[in-house]
Amino acid sequence: QVQLVESGGGLVQAGGSLKLSCVASGRTSSGYHMGWFRQAPGKEREFVATISRSAGITRYADSVKGRFTISRDNAKNTVYLQMNSLKSEDTAVYYCAADLTRYGSNPGEYDYWGQGTQVTVSS
């Protein structure tokens, strides 16, 4: 079992920045690939970014490429999402997720999820 707890969400003006954190605990949590997803009201959960267990590979949704950066510190069992140049369309609940075998963009592939943290971007 892996437990995930996100933090760092909040209210920010368009053009601003936020940094989300996701602390993982449990057995061999550093051995998991990690992803960030988001879900806006009335919409499906969508892929944001993913990072391999060694941090050697990262992938991003086209909508956030160049603005968001995913990183991880395995010594702290923490994954980060630095979000810059935020737009109103980035408003959503952001979730981190862990997957033992893949670092893909399909939320159905991920084994464990956090409870989410709200990000609201005002225009």
pLDDT mean over 65-87? 96
Identify whether the C-beta of residue 118 lies closer than 8 Å to the C-beta of residue 12.
Answer: no
Average confidence (pLDDT) over 7-31? 91
Tens of pLDDT along 7-18?
A: 999 999 999 999
| Residue 51 neighbours by CB under 8 Å, 6+ apart | 33, 34, 35, 57, 58, 70, 71, 72, 79, 103
- Percent of the chain exceeding pLDDT 70 equals 97
Q: Is the per-residue pLDDT at 66 higher than 70?
A: yes
**Considering the chain, what is the average pLDDT of its residues?**
94
pLDDT at 45: 97
